[in-house]
Amino acid sequence: MQRKFDTWSSKKLKSLPEFASDEDAARFVDDGDLTEFDLSGGITMRFQRESESKRSVRETGEMYKFEVYKDKAGEFRFRFKASNGETMFSSEGYKAKASALHAIDSIKKHVPDATTDDQTSALA
């Protein structure tokens, strides 16, 4: 079976800026859109397409994650994705990105103590 590779070279990526502190770098990574930046350190990235291949989380390194995005109305939303890429839930729209990020932080902080309120049970 011949393997096909694609080289990521369709657009010129920006170099990462210099940061005054580790906190500045962390803030940039947390708040920035990194899709425009070259994170390869000068290494040519090659990707193999294997749509039929199902690899485990251990192999891919993908974990559960929150994705922040802008909807068609220009509001910030987030979705929570499982390691298999499926969306588990999505948020309402927020006018400010900071509000969406704050909601994510609140979920992360309070989930361990959350209870389940099953409202489908019949009342006695």
pLDDT at 93: 95
pLDDT digits 0-9 by tens, 60-87: 567 899 999 999 999 999 999 998 889 9
Q: pTM of the full predicted structure?
A: 0.49
pLDDT at 32: 66
CA dihedral defined by 77, 80, 83, 85, rounded to 10 degrees? -50
For each of the domains in the chain, give its residue range(s) and CATH number, in order of start. Answer: 1-48 (no CATH), 62-112 (3.30.160.160)
pLDDT at 40: 57
Question: Distance between CA atoms of 46 and 124, rounded to whole angstroms?
Answer: 61
Kindly tell me the burial class for residue 25, based on how many C-beta atoms sit within 10 Å of its own C-beta (0-12, 13-18, 19 or more): middle
Provide the residue type at 78 as one letter.
F
pLDDT at 50: 53
- Residue 37: pLDDT band (50, 70, 90) is low
pLDDT digits 0-9 by tens, 23-35: 777 777 677 666 6
Interacting residues of 65 by C-beta distance below 8 A, sequence separation 6+: 80, 81
